[in-house]
Structure 1
Amino acid sequence: MENRYESRGDSRGDSRGGDRGDRGGSRSDGPRGARPRGKFFKGPRRKQCRFCTEENMTIDYKNVSMLRQFLTERAKIVPRRTTGNCAKHQRQLTEAVKRARVLALVPFTVE
């Protein structure tokens, strides 16, 4: 069977890749003209779980001031990626906030 691209007159041919031509700029410029980073740059520092690092800090549903640190101004629970909590303590924190909401220590929502 004849190659379907040759019959159509497309310039693609058999190989899909190929030279894309000069698009301007060079690879040495870096991504979007950003300045090159130092040799020892490791990126932003990973957040540590507060409850793992500080031994005396515990999660208690009665400690409203501590729970409010992990709530937004609209009384939503702040996610792990923002607070830096580990999965274990984030689950405990969520449970404590929900318990405090039922007992009306913390509001469900704020309007």
Structure 2
Amino acid sequence: MAHRSDPKTRAAKDRKRPNPLDAAGIEYIDYKDTDLLRRFVSDRGKIRSRRVTRVSAQQQRLLARAIKNAREMALLPTATK
């Protein structure tokens, strides 16, 4: 059986890492802001998960839409080798 971590220590660990968008004061996610979007894309070109980036569900949806728009407009690469 796998070892499960204590929920209290896990919750305390989650509190240590704040939401990066809220910490920076970013309210609007624009597809033209490639510097911001690159922080949420892996080196392989994949959109990073919420678990990794610590953004809210709504912000994750907005980020995904902005990244896809930026890829369509050729501001971000679709994939890298």
Q: Normalising by structure 1, report the TM-score.
A: 0.57
Per the TM alignment, residue 57 of structure 1 is displaced from its structure 2 partner at its CA by: 5.4
Partner of 1:91: 61
Structure holding more helix per residue: 2
Mark the runs of 5 or more structure 2 residues left unpaired by the alignment: none
Mark the runs of 5 or more structure 1 residues left unpaired by the alignment: 1-30, 32-40
Give structure 1 regions of 4+ aligned residues with deviation exceeding 6 angstroms. Answer: none
Q: Does 1:42 align with 2:9?
A: yes
- Percent sequence identity over matched residues? 33
1:40-79 equivalent positions in 2, closer than 5 A: 42-43=9-10, 45-46=13-14, 47-56=17-26, 58-79=28-49
1:1-40 equivalent positions in 2, closer than 5 A: none
Larger Rg: 1
Count of residue pairs brought into register by the alignment: 72
